Structure 1
Amino acid sequence: MQFAESPGTSTFLSPSDTSYTLNEGSMLPSITCSAECRPGCLFVWTKPDNINFTASPVLSLGQLDRTKTGEYSCTSWNDYGFHTIKIMLNVQYGPGGSISLSPSRSTYTENEGYPLPRITCSADCSPECNYIWSKQNEGNITVGSSLVLEQLNRSEHGLYICTARNEVGEATKQVDIIVKYGPGIIQTSVPNLDKVENQTVPVINCSADCRPACSYTWSKGAATYSNPLSLSTALRGNAGTYICKASNSVSQSVKEWTLTVRFPPKILSLMYTQGNADITENASKSMVCTVESYPASTITWYYKANNTQLATISDVLKSTYTLSNGGCLDTGLYTCSARNSVSNTPTTMDLPVNVLCKPRMDFRSNSMQNDIRIGLSKDLVLNASYLCNPEPNFSWQFHKTTSTNLVNGTDRISIDDIFNGSSLSAVSTLTRPSMEERWLGLYIVTVTNSQGSHTHLYTVAAEESDTELSSSAKKKNTYDTLDPGQVPIPILSDDVEAQGNPSNEINSEREPEETAEGGKETNTYMNVEFRKQSKFHRIYNTIYSIKDIRIETENPYANVKKKKRRRKKKS
C-alpha cells in the first residue's frame, strides 16, 4: 500500500546552486526544480516581482540582462502540501550608455578667472562604478565623480573625459571647456631696430596668445598700418615708436616697437634772433642755428673770413651764438657747422653780419703822412686809407689863403676812390703831377658815411736842403711867418713825445690883425693832437677854425699843451 506524501523538504534543484552571478548578456543555464511527493507535485517559478514566471519545473531565462536580476522561487506542491526553494540571480553590467553629466551641458565657455560650476558624472552600473576625470592628452586629473575647477585659467582649457568603470565594463562622457582670455605678452618678430638712413628694414610681425584669436593693428601717431608692419627702408620720416594693438572679445593689449633712424645733420635754419644783418658798432647780434639730425649734433661756429673757431656746443639740435661789442672788422660771414657720428663730413650754412662803423684811419696801412716835403715839378700823391662800413664818400680841399674844393679832373687833380667790401678798406688817392709852388699848402680829406665822418690834414711843403732842415729841427715848435688869414703850419720837433692816454696836444694861436679893409681878422688857431711815430709825428685829430671853415675830428688821445712861438723871419 502506498502512502500519500507532500513535497516537504524534498524539493531540490539541478544544478543545485542557489546563487548565480552572471554578466549581462550571458546565458543562465536551465535550472530544474524537482521534489518527492505522492501524488506527484506541480511546479511553478516565480519572478522577483512575485509574478508567476513559468508553470514548469525548469527555469530558462535565456540571455541575461540587468532586469533579470533578483530572487527566483521554485514552488512544488500537491494536495498534501507545498515547498519552495529559491535561487539568487545577480546580473552584472557596466555603465554602458547610462553615463551622464550633471549639468548635462557638453560645452562650457568662460573667461579666464571665472569659476566653472561643479560637473558630476554618474552611470547605472552593477556592481557600482568607479569614476575618473581626465584631460585629453594629459592623463588623470581627479578620482571621483565630480569635476571641480574654481577659477579658470588658460591652462585648464581643453576636453575633459569622465570614465565610469566596473568589472563588467566602462563608459566615457566628454565635456569641452573653453577658457577665453585676452592677449597677454605681445611678441614682435624683430626687436627694436637702429638703422642708418636708407638701410633695409625687415617685415615686423606682431603676435600674442589669445582665445579667441586676436586681431592686430599697428599705429604711429594718427597713421595706421596692417600686420605685419612693412616699412621696407629706414627713412627719417619712418623713425619713431610704433604701437601694435592686439584685441579680441575679452580684452586688448599693446606693445611698443621703436625704429631708430640715424642720419647726418641738416641745417634747417640759420637766422638772427631779431632784426637783420646790420648792427651798429659795439652792439650785439645773436644768431640761432637749428639742425635736424640723429643723434644730436656738435655745432661749431666760425668766423669765415679767417676760419676762426668761435664756439663749440655738443649734443644739441639748436645753438645760439652772440657777437658782443661788434667791431668794424667783425663784419663778414658767420658759419654754423654741424656734424654727428653718422658722417664725418660737416654740413654748413653762412649768415652775414654787417657792423656799421664810422670812418677811422686804417691801422693796417701806413700810407698816410702828415708832413710831406716835395720837390717842385714832382708828382704829389696823397693816400687816405680808412676802415669803415658802409662805403664812405671822400671830399678833398686845398687851403692856402682860401679854401678850394678839389674836383677830379680840374687843376691837374686826379682822385681815385676804392672801397673793398670784404676788408672794409676805403682808399682815396689824390694825385697832382708836376707840383707848382702855388699848390703847396694844406690838403684836407674828409671821409663820411652814415655812421659819421673823419678829417685828416696833409701839410705839403717844398723840400728844404739838409742844412735848412737841420737848422729847423733845432727850433722847438716854431712856425713860418704867415700872411694874415693863412693857416699856421706846425713844425714839430723830435723831442715832443706822446704821453700815452691822455695824449699830447699842441695849442697854437695868433692875435687877430687889422685887415686891408680896416676890420679885425677872425682869430685863426689850430689845436693839434698827435702821437710820435719814430722821428715823425702824425697829426691825428685836429679842430681847425679857418675864418668861416670849421672841421671837427675825433681824438682818442688826451692833451699835452705847448705854447705858441712865432717863427722868426729868415734874414
Structure 2
Amino acid sequence: MGTSKGHIVIIINYGPNQVILSPNRTSYTFDENSDVPDITCTADCQPDCTLTWIKQTGQVISTEILSLKETQRNQAGTYQCNASNDFGNMVSTDVTISVRYGAEIKGLTIDGENFTIPEHVETRLACEIDGIPKPNGRLFYNDEEKQSSGNPITYGLVPLCNDTGNYTCAAENSIGKSNQTKELFVLCSPRPVATLQSRIAVGNDSILEINVIFLSYPQPKISWTFIKNGSNEIVRSNNTIGIYQHVSSIYITDMKTPQYGMYVLKVTNGIQNDLKHTFEVLPQHSPTILRLEILNGNTVDERQSVDFLCEVNGYPVPDISWILSSTNTVLKKDEHVFKSNYLIPKANCLHTGSYRCQGINVIDGELVNAFSEIDLFVLCSARIDQRYQEELEDIAVMENGDLNIRVYILAYPEPIIIWTMRHSVTGQDYTVNYTNSFNNVEHISTVNITEVSTKDYGVYTIIAYNKIGPPYVKSFTVKPQGSNNRSENNLFKSIGASVGAFFFILIVAGLTIIVLKTMKRRANIKRDLFWYD
C-alpha cells in the first residue's frame, strides 16, 4: 500500500499598511510648462492593491505613477496616492505641486463699466492681478503712480476735466510682468487753465499775440470776434486740439489804430457753461503823473497824520512807488494801480523833506517811469538832534590848544542860534565867534577857537529858538586841562546857571510877544507845543 505526500498553501490576505512614494518628496515647485519628475506609488498588499492618484479637487488618475508634463497652473495642488484592496485602504502623505507663472492683469474696470464719465461724480477704478509668486501691482495715471497696494488695486476719485487720460495697471513678479491700459474720458465744459487777462497793451506797429490754453471734452468749437464801434468781424485763429487740453491763438503783426478794440473768444462743446472771454486791446503809453498832493496840507504840526495821494496814468497799468528823495529810500510800492496813498500816522520833525511819487510800467520790453516830488514841512521847536553824540558839558582844553564845540539842532522853521560866553574868573561876558549851517530841518552850530588862551576859559551857552515852541538852551564849561580846582568848577557852574537863566527869561519874554502876534494872524490854526521825542 503506497504512501502519498501533499503541500498545503496558506495564503494570508491583508490590506496595505504603508504607501511608499518614489522619489520620497512631498513638495515640488516648477515653472509653468515645465515637466514634473514621475512620482511612483507602491504598497505591500495581499492581494495586490489598486493604486490611484487623487487630487484634492476629486480628480482621479488611475495609475501608480503621477506623471505631469508641461505642467499648467491648473495642475497645481495637493495629490495623494490611494492603495486599496478588499482587506484595507491607505493613502500616502500629501504631495504638493506648485506651479509658478508670471504676473498677469485679470481685469482693469471702472464702476459702471463705462470709461466716459461725467465730471464731479465719484467713481472707482479696480485692477485685479494674478501670478505666483504673488506679484506687486501699481496703478498709474499717465506716468504718475496713484495706488500700489491690495488685490484688487482700487483707486477712487471725483473726476475733473484734467483727470482725462490713460490709466495703466502694472504687475510684476520674479517670473514676468504685465500691464493693461484703459483711457478715461471726463466730460467737462470749456474752461481756461489760468486766469485770462482782461486788458492787453500793445504798441503801434508791434505784434499782438493772444494764446489761450483751455480744457474741454469732447472736442470744442472755437471762434474769435473783433468788436469795434458796434461792428463784428470774424478773426482767424490758430487752434491746436488735444484730447482734453487745447490751445487757441490769434496773431496780428504791425498793429494799427483801427485794430485796437475788443477781441472776444467763444468756446463750446455741448456741455453746459460755454467759455466766453473778452480781451480789450489798448495802445501802450508810458506813465504820467496826473495828481500829487498832501490831502491835509504841506505844512503840519508834529504828531499830526499826513496823507499823501498820487494818481498816475499809463498802460500797462503802472506800479506806483513812494520814495524819500533825500535818501532814495523806497517807502511803499503798490503794483498795477492808477492811484496810491502813503500815510504817515504821526509826523515828527525828521519827516520834513521831499517825497517822490514814481510810476513805472513796461513799454516794448523796457521799463519806463515818470515821477513828481512834493515837499512836507513839519513844524517843530528847536531841540537836540539825538542821532548824534552830544558834546560833554565839561570840556578840558590845554592852553594854546584848539577848542571845538559842535551842536546838532533840529527845528522847523529855521531857528535863530546865538552863543554867549562868560569868563570863568572875571565873570565878564564876551562875544563868541561861531558858525551856523542851516539845512531845511537839520542844523549845525559850531564854536571853533584855535590857540586857546586864559581869556577863552569859561561857560559857553547856546540858545536856539523859533516861533514854534520853547528854546533849546545848553551850557558847556571850558577849563584848563588838568585843572582840579573845585571852587573854580563851582564858579563855572554857578556862572553857567546864571547866564542860562538870564537868557532863558529874556528869550521866553521875546518869544511870548512873537507867539501872541502870530496867534492873532493865524487864529484858525491850533498848534500843540511839545518837545521832540
- TM normalised by structure 1 equals 0.46
Q: Which structure is higher in RCO with an 8 Å CA cutoff and minimum separation 6?
A: 2
> Which has more radius of gyration?
1
Normalising by the residue count of structure 2, what TM-score does the alignment of the two structures yield? 0.49
Query: Greater share of helix residues, 1 or 2?
Result: 2
